[in-house]
Amino acid sequence: MNSDIQIAGDPLAIPHLLPPAPAHPSTVSAFAGLARSLAADRAGWAPLVQYDATSRWYHRLRTGPGYEVWLLSWVPGQGSGAHDHGASSGVLTVLEGELTERVGHGERHSLRAGAQRVFAPGYVHDVVNDALEPAVSLHIYFPGLTDMPMHPSQDAVRERAEGRVPDAPDTLDVLGG
């Protein structure tokens, strides 16, 4: 009895019949998958991690066509401040520890190891290590990160709206005019 391969030939031996393999991830789902696969390769990132009590530590782990991957560490109390990522979309994956993401008007997301957040250009958030242990995260930006504008924290915006924090004086007041 003949097998299908004997009758039709091996389809893998006919490359023009196969869909082309993507050169790099091209969908949000594929970037999230890349983040999961990098996270699973602990031997590839864990030896690189350093902790700095004076500022967040970061290391560019990889670049590819149209994207870059960053490894960040967070000691307790360290945070990013409210920011967006300019024209970049991204995937944040917690590798170790726990981080808190603050978005919108007081909304908080507790992110433990394995948790992922996906964001589009213009997404404003603040990430902080509120825990008592250090944390490590992996960030993929596509296209690569070229701008990270800072924003007032949502707490400051809320306090200003409630009249608890005075607005900064305008130029005429400062100059006495």
- List all residues 6 or more positions away from 175 whose beta carbon is below 8 Å from its beta carbon: none
- Residue 151 annotated as part of some ligand binding site: no
- Residue 83 annotated as part of some ligand binding site: yes
- Residue 125 annotated as part of some ligand binding site: yes
The CA distance from 82 to 150, in Å, is: 6
Q: For residue 26, what are its two tokens?
A: 């091209």
The CA distance from 123 to 36, in Å, is: 22
Please list, residue by residue across 104-114, b when 16 or more beta carbons sit within 10 angstroms of its beta carbon and e when fewer do. Answer: eeeeeeebeee
The secondary element (H helix, E strand) that includes residue 17 is none
What angle is formed at CA 76 by the lines to CA 120 and CA 88, rounded to 5 degrees?
A: 15
Binding-site residues for Fe cation sit at 83, 85, 125
Binding-site residues sit at 83, 85, 125
